[in-house]
Amino acid sequence: MRKSKNVIYIKNAQQIEGIRRSGRLASRALDLVAERLKPGVTTEYLDKLVHDYITANGGIPATLGYKGSRGTIPFPASSCISINEVVVHGIPGPRVIKDGDLVSVDVTAILDGYYGDTARTFLVGQAPEVARRLTEATEESLRLAIAVVKNGTRLGDIGDAIQTHVESKGFSVVRYFVGHGVGLKFHEEPAVPHHGKKGTGMRLKSGMVFTIEPMINEGVYDVKVLSDGWTAVTADGKLSAQFEHTMAVTADGADVLTLSD
């Protein structure tokens, strides 16, 4: 039996404004992280900033207590903080951030029942040149992908935009995790792969809301998940970066909903 959870929700204007408000809250939490991120701070300190900022503004951190679909422990924090070879879903804790670290922070806020999901990668102090190139290529790939989104765009056009760009720089696209519909729930249909071929896949429709969140690796695209059930690392131990936005499809473009102002 086909389950109703496979439907793609088309959001109305009021719902999109609700998602924009939660997305703005998540983005402002990342602004706060950016201000406080420096060598010597712990990831749990940054996580507490995110937690307190979201709750003080009437929101709920969506990751806190979130039960994944892969039969793991509930996620124990208000943000995912993924350092260097950690691809995604790093669990904040006593780890101290060092000069030269590549730090990806992913925040999802719930406000009035709407979900906004966004992530950025930050470089701390004097990061290696390859970390800079990787981070720049990842951010640029998200920008290029957003630029192809509009009513009628095919899913493969998004993956192609990301893959073509980062592979031209010698980097690789993680396959194991994908973008996703979002807004009324944390993870909705459709799955949004970050690799693909132009002119293939489903056509986007106005009112669809989803994330694009490329995870780009310095070396091989394979990942492995550690025994905590969450932390995903690169199979070769090399660096990984990620940027994520939540957006709504419109007749002539993408309306990015995870901006700070």
Round to whole Å and give the CA distance between 51 and 33: 11
Cβ nearer to ligand MF3, comparing 9 with 133: 9
Among 30, 37, 54, 80, binds ligand MF3 (CB under 6 A): 80
Kindly state whether residue 211 participates in binding Co ion, applying the rule CB under 5 A. Answer: yes
Shortest CB 177 distance to ligand MF3, Å: 8
Round to whole Å and give the CA distance between 83 and 7: 35
Cβ nearer to Co ion, comparing 143 with 198: 143
Site for ligand MF3 in 92-121 (CB under 6 A): 106, 108, 117
Binding mask 127-166 for ligand MF3 (x = CB under 6 A): ----------------------------------------
Among 85, 101, 117, 218, binds Co ion (CB under 5 A): 117
From 159, 141, 135, select the one nearest 82 (Cα to Cα): 135
The burial of 9, by beta-carbon neighbours within 10 Å (0-12 exposed, 13-18 middle, 19 or more buried), is given as middle
211's enclosing H/E stretch is strand 209-212
Round to whole Å and give the CA distance between 214 and 147: 14
Kindly state whether residue 63 participates in binding ligand MF3, applying the rule CB under 6 A. Answer: yes
The burial of 242, by beta-carbon neighbours within 10 Å (0-12 exposed, 13-18 middle, 19 or more buried), is given as buried
Kindly state whether residue 188 participates in binding ligand MF3, applying the rule CB under 6 A. Answer: no
Tell me which stretch binds Co ion (CB under 5 A): 31-39, 42-50, 105-113, 130-138: 105-113
Round to whole Å and give the CA distance between 116 and 236: 32
DSSP letter for 230, please.
Answer: S
Tokens, residue 102: 């590549």
Kindly state whether residue 47 participates in binding ligand MF3, applying the rule CB under 6 A. Answer: no
Cβ nearer to ligand MF3, comparing 2 with 5: 5
Please report, as ranges, the residues that interact with Co ion according to CB under 5 A.
106, 117, 119, 211, 213, 244
